[in-house]
Amino acid sequence: MQRTLLFSDARCLAHETPYDHPESPRRLGAILDSLHAAPVDGAAWASFRPATREELLLVHRPEYVDAILALRGRTFRLDPDTWLSSGSVDAALLAAGASIEAVRALCEGKATTAFALVRPPGHHAEPDRAMGFCVFNNAAIAAAAARAQFGCERILLVDWDVHHGNGSQRAFWTRPDVLYFSTHRAPPFYPRTGRLEEVGEGLGRGYTVNLPLPAGTGDDDFVALYQALLVPIAADFRPDLVVVSAGFDAHRDDPLGGMRMTAAGFEALAAIVRGIADRHADGRLLLVLEGGYDLDALVDGVRTCLETMCAEQVEPPPPAAPGDPARRILEAARALHAAYWPSLRAVETAPPPG
Ligand SMILES: [Zn+2]
C-alpha cells in the first residue's frame, strides 16, 4: 500500500482570478513546482476524475450546482471575492473530484494518507452559494462521500485555515456523523461566523466545535488547543476517517491572516491529526488544501505536513502552554463542550511551565 497519495491536476491552474487577487494560480503552481523539483519520499501522484453532478449534490443544492455548471467556459463574478474564468468550473469539478477520489483511495486501502492539492478552495462554499474564493466545498463533499459511498460512519472534519469554514459548518450543522472542529480568527473577521456558542442543532448539537481566536495567536496556542480539546473529543467520537481543511493562512507571513504560526506549528498540528487517525481510523487521513497567501509559507506548510504524513512513525508534539487569550478560549470551550464529550470532564489544564 502507498503511504501517501497526492491528488492534483494542472487544470486547477486554469482557474484564473483578477490581477492582485490573493487566490492566484501561482499558489498551487508554487506547490507543484516544489514537489516536482524535490519530491517527498513516500508520496506518489494519483490520477482521478472530475466530480459528477450527483456527487456535488451530497453537499450542494441542485439549483446551485446547475447554475454553476451552466457557467462553464464563461467569466462571471459569483460574489464580491469569487470569480469564474473560462477554466474555473472545470477546475472546481476537478478539485471536488480529487477530494472524493482521495477518500476512495483511503477507504479502498490503496493509500494510508492523501493530500488533495487543489483550487479553487472550498470551505466557505455553502450548500446554495459560492463565497470567499470557494465554489464547491471540496472537504465537505469528501466527508459526505465517505459517509454516503465508502462505508465510513463517523468523519472528523478539522479546519485549521485562519478563516472559519462557514460552508462546512452549515453542511453538517444538524448531523452527528460529521464532527466539524475549527480553529480560526474570531468574528468579526471574515466570514463573521464561528463563535464559540455555535455548536450545531438538533441531532448535530455538540458536533460543531468552534475555537475563535484573537489576532496574533501562535504555534503554542494552536498546539495546546488541539491537544487539550481535539484529542479528547476525537477519543470520544472515534472517527473512522479524518479530513482536514488545510489552509496555511494562519502563518505569520500571511498577508490576510494576522496570526503568528510557523511551519513548526503546522508540523505539530499535522502530527496531532495523524495521531488521531492512527489511533482511531487505521491511519486514514486526508488533507484538502484551502487558503494560504504567502507563497513561501504555503509551500513550506504543505511540505512539512506532507513529510509528517509520509513518515513511518510520528511522535506527538510535547505538551504546549497557551498564552492567556488562548487559555481563556480553551477553558470556555472545555466548559461548554464538556456537556457533549465526557473526556473533557476528566482532563485538567496543564500548568504553565516553570
Ligand atoms: Zn483562509
* 334, pLDDT greater than 60: yes
Please answer whether residues 165 and 189 qualify as being in contact, where contact means their C-beta atoms are separated by less than 8 angstroms.
no
Instruction: Give the residue numbers marked as catalytic.
Output: 124
State pLDDT tens for residues 215-268.
999 999 999 999 999 999 999 999 999 999 999 999 999 999 999 999 999 999
194 Cα to the center of ligand 1, angstroms: 13
354 Cα to the center of ligand 1, angstroms: 35
State pLDDT tens for residues 19-40.
999 999 999 999 999 999 999 9
Please answer whether residues 207 and 179 qualify as being in contact, where contact means their C-beta atoms are separated by less than 8 angstroms.
yes
Please answer whether residues 224 and 183 qualify as being in contact, where contact means their C-beta atoms are separated by less than 8 angstroms.
no
* 351, pLDDT greater than 70: no
* 320, pLDDT greater than 60: yes
**Cα→Cα distances 26→34, 142, 155, Å:** 12, 25, 32
pTM above 0.95, yes or no: yes
Average pLDDT over residues 193-210: 98
**pLDDT for position 352:** 60
Q: What is the DSSP string of 14-40?
A: G----TT-SS-HHHHHHHHHHHHHSPP
**Cα→Cα distances 97→70, 73, 186, 290, Å:** 18, 18, 31, 15
* 353, pLDDT greater than 80: no
**pLDDT for position 2:** 83
* 311, pLDDT greater than 60: yes
Closest CA to 111 of 98, 102, 121: 102
Confidence of residue 349 (pLDDT cuts 50, 70, 90): low
117 Cα to the center of ligand 1, angstroms: 15
Side chain identity at residue 214, one-letter code: P
Closest CA to 217 of 99, 327, 308: 327
Q: What is the DSSP string of 207-274?
A: SEEEEEE-TT-BHHHHHHHIIIIIHHHHHHH--SEEEEEE--TTBTT-TTT--BB-HHHHHHHHHHHH
225 Cα to the center of ligand 1, angstroms: 19
241: cell is: 476517517
State pLDDT tens for residues 79-135.
999 999 999 999 999 999 999 999 999 999 999 999 999 999 999 999 999 999 999
Confidence of residue 348 (pLDDT cuts 50, 70, 90): low
**pLDDT for position 1:** 77
Confidence of residue 44 (pLDDT cuts 50, 70, 90): very high
**pLDDT for position 22:** 96
**pLDDT for position 258:** 98
Domains and CATH numbers, the chain: 2-346 (3.40.800.20)
User: Which helix (H) or strand (E) is 294 found in, with range?
Assistant: none
Confidence of residue 354 (pLDDT cuts 50, 70, 90): low
Residue-averaged pLDDT of the chain: 97
Closest CA to 181 of 161, 211, 141, 222: 211
**Cα→Cα distances 163→167, 184, 196, 263, Å:** 11, 5, 14, 18
Please give the share of the chain, as a percent, with pLDDT higher than 90: 97
State pLDDT tens for residues 143-186.
999 999 999 999 999 999 999 999 999 999 999 999 999 999 99
